[in-house]
Chains A and B, each alone.
Chain A
Amino acid sequence: MKKTTAFLAASLLMTTALATSAETIRWARAGDSLTLDPHAQNEGPTHTVAHQIYEPLLIRDTTGAFEAALATDWAPSADDPNVWIFNLREGVTFHDGAEFDSEDVVFSINRAKSEESDMKELINSIVEVRAPSKYVVEIVTDGPNPIMPNNLTNLFMMDKTWAEANDTVGVQDFEGGGTSFATTNANGTGPFRVVSREPDVETVLAQNENYWGMDQFPMDVTEIIYTPIQNPATRVAALLSGEVDFIQDVPVQDLNRVAETDGLDIRTAPQNRVIFFGMNTGADDLERDNVDGKNPLADQRVRQAMKIAINRDAIKQVIMRGQSQPAGVIMPPFVNGWTAELDAVPATDVAAAKALMTEAGYEDGFSIQLDCPNDRYINDEGICQATVGMLAQIGITVNLDAKPKAQHFPLITNGQTDFYMLGWGVPTYDSEYIFNFLVHTRGEDRGSWNGTGYSNADIDAKIQSLASETDLDARDATIAEIWETVQAETLYLPVHHQVLNWGVKSNVGIDVDPEDQPKFKYFTVN
């Protein structure tokens, strides 16, 4: 009798164990995807949801390395340096059963290049896409482009027939007024399909049983329930109470709490985002300082003094609770061009900084305004406050003006700030992207985020040469030269690399993605 009961209890336990491993992942992060249209928004959470449903030709795995997705292999053409040839995966079907072929690639890239598309800047070097056969695509660029595939990792493929049948060939058009079909419906080749979606409330995705990679990837997750939860405390409470299984953006003050809870883990990895300060070096005189007739920030010695006055370890320990990686260069460690020497953290030396200030003629210091976001990066305002104190030690009085990102970023892009915080991620994993936006002289096509006013014709020429240099060794040498100048000029004051924290149930196996984009096909559930 006793034995039977024990046996019954054991089998009951077993069935419950099996039942709970019904591989539904309830997932929460701060923001929702803005649209299901894969080309309408070039934005993190939107791409993350799209990655479950749609697929690009190639993706990055959790280490940041390329992995074949809808293309099996790719290489520059032997005949024409301006052409990249992609061989497509055969036998792939969209969720509605339609077959995927080169026509769809041509259609999708052209759609992503259209004026209303938010993805067009990333692929603006593409002039033509050709489909010589059913499973081969040729992409023609306006010159040799050695890193063209880097720009395709978030460029999703749609079905041409489906788009035409549903009148959603164009990307969402504001002037048109209405929403397009693809904003609320999706038909991709990805590992999951949309079951239901209520924007800002809940999105339910189910496994695509016909996915081509069923045997290649763990594919343990059969259902994803995605709920955006804005409030960080609520998000953590939902994880602690077991209402969700996986959250992104765990606030640093709650990390211990989550890690100490039975059955929950914190997974951590450096993010593809570096946090730094920029300074207006270009102006003759600053508007928001107390020095008349000249610009103290134009003096490299002042910038160097500021660089070594910032105590990055203190920021890490006190503000970030250990969750950051102090930086010496404004480049995440995954990026082509990164070296340990460049990223060596500058030693804090207040005495040397003061000496540099004296040498530059500012022994009495000066005052300046620091513009800082308060809702964009992890503890952004706290970092700025700490910096105010550190710069005060060398006589620089900093007036901190922290505001929401919607008001902060226009200051940088419109050149209305003298001293500002910025964070930068590099989707192409190549230094050229950083140079184009942050180092090149501000102009029509490049330098849109360069709020420093820095302009160096020699550097500009070198940056422009990167786009079409096909000799990768020569290209890397140029990249190194540009970095050398950027570092010598102390153009930016690096602070740290952000660290990502994901809170998950312990039975879920996943490595943190440096782009903060979980791809559920990689998740294992025990």
Chain B
Amino acid sequence: MLAYTIKRILQSIVVLLVVGLVAFSMFQYVGDPVDNMLGQERTQADIERVRAQLGLDQPFPVQYWKFISNAAQGDFGISYRQKRPVMDILRSSAPATLELAFVSGLFALIIGITLGVITAIRQNGFGSGIIMTLSLIGVSLPTFLIGILLAHLFAVELGILPSKGRGETVIIGGWVWSVFGTQIQFPSWRTGFLTESGLRALILPSITLGLYQMTLIMRLVRSEMLEVLRQDYIRFARARGLRERAVNFRHALKNTMVPVITIAGLQLGSIIAFAIITETVFAWPGIGNQFILAIRAVDIPMMAAYLMLVSVMFVIINLIVDLLYFAIDPRLRVDRTAGGH
């Protein structure tokens, strides 16, 4: 187990280095950051001075090495666009993205499982047909269109939900604790969970972001459930006269959950990483929004940090999933024999 874990971690590090290398080699084609940083009156001397200052006159392997060695020490440099440390920007915009991802993940999971079970149990019902048809929309409509449509309906036409931003936010954390003479500062967190406007502002973006995942989970639960409902043990359970509810939820649903949890875990990564579009549509001040702004301004430190962050996240999630498989899949283990019903 230990050797397996170490091997996986080493592989993950290689993956991160390669992602960084590919990203850096592409930054050369995004445009010239200096052009954005200096006003239209700048002279050639200014351009050269700034290029030298930023190290942009170096070949890209050198730039890459500088970035990686600084990043390894937790220093992602100064944003070209905002001229403040990239870490500060990430730290202040991460709560917005994480809260949004959390709520839309929860929405996708709860609604997805519920609808999946309903459509599986009432397989031929009229309602199931409608839900299944509508779910196609969730899968096929692009996120930005869903977002704009929702904002138009609920903000402009009905005027009941906000179309932009996080509403009122409250800063929590940031306390300083003194433990045995050392100061420990808790990271501060700007949350929208504690105010009414903050919660209302979450509704439309989380639905937009979670809709695809919701339909995915729903369809997965439904097909797994249909599969399980055909199994012998379900028939026997029914034959024994167990109540329908106990059969469906205690026995059938439980056994459909293994693949669902795997998929949901992996999808959480993509919810965070691909919040970009939802954040842009709803002017949500998260990391994805910052990434778009960074691309437009050719803000290399910010883009590099974002890409590394996302790949670290995916690598960690994959690592956990791999390790979970190792723990769950009996075939990977030799010390125990597989048990069964």
Residues of A within 8 A of B (CB): 34-35, 40-43, 115, 118-119, 121-122, 172, 174-175, 177-179, 183-184, 198-202, 227-231, 233-234, 237-238, 240-243, 375, 404-407, 409-410, 413, 437, 444-445, 448-449
Contact = CB atoms under 8 A, between A and B. Distances in A.
Contacts of B53: 174-175
A415 to B, nearest CB: 12
Candidate in A178, A237, A240, A404 with the most chain B CB atoms within 10 angstroms: A237
Given A234-B151, A406-B33, A410-B32, 12 more contacts: A42-B40, A115-B49, A121-B39, A201-B285, A234-B282, A241-B162, A242-B159, A406-B297, A413-B35, A437-B40, A437-B41, A449-B40
B9 interface: no
Given A121-B41, A407-B31, A237 B164 contact: yes
B118 to A, nearest CB: 33
B144 to A, nearest CB: 8
A121 to B, nearest CB: 4
14 contacts: A43-B39, A174-B50, A174-B78, A183-B84, A200-B285, A230-B293, A231-B280, A237-B151, A237-B163, A241-B155, A406-B32, A406-B297, A437-B40, A444-B45
Interface string B232-272: 00000000000000000000000000000000000000000
B104 interface: no
A174 B289 CA distance: 24
Contact of B164 (A174, A198, A234): A234
A200 B88 CA distance: 13
Interface string B133-177: 000000000000000100110011001001111100000000000
B42 A448 contact: yes
A249 to B, nearest CB: 14
Contacts of A119: 39
B164 A229 contact: yes
A231 B30 CA distance: 21
Contacts of B93: 200
A185 to B, nearest CB: 12
A231 B283 contact: yes
Nearest to B38: A118
Nearest to A228: B283
Given A121-B39, A200-B285, A375-B296, A227 B156 contact: no
Given A43-B39, A115-B49, A444-B43, A406 B84 contact: no
A238 B164 contact: yes
A227 B282 CA distance: 12
Contacts of A230: 280, 283, 289, 292-293
A352 to B, nearest CB: 35
B230 interface: no
Interface residues of B, number: 52
Nearest to B42: A121
B285 A40 contact: no
Contacts of A172: 83
A199 B93 CA distance: 10
B327 interface: no
B289 A200 contact: yes
Contacts of A175: 53
Given A198-B92, A200-B289, A231-B280, A444 B44 contact: yes
Contact of B85 (A179, A240, A243, A437): A179
Nearest to A118: B39
B81 interface: yes
Nearest to B54: A174
A473 B109 CA distance: 76
Interface in B1-54: 29-33, 35-36, 38-46, 49-50, 53-54
What are the 6 tightest A-B residue pairs by CB atom distance, in nearest-first order? A406-B31, A42-B39, A121-B41, A201-B285, A407-B31, A241-B155
Interface string B67-89: 00000000000100111110001
A229 B32 CA distance: 24
Contacts of B49: 115
Contacts of A198: 92, 285
Contact of B152 (A177, A200, A237, A410): A237
B155 A237 contact: yes
Given A122-B41, A406-B31, A444-B43, A179 B84 contact: yes
B41 to A, nearest CB: 4
A44 B46 CA distance: 20
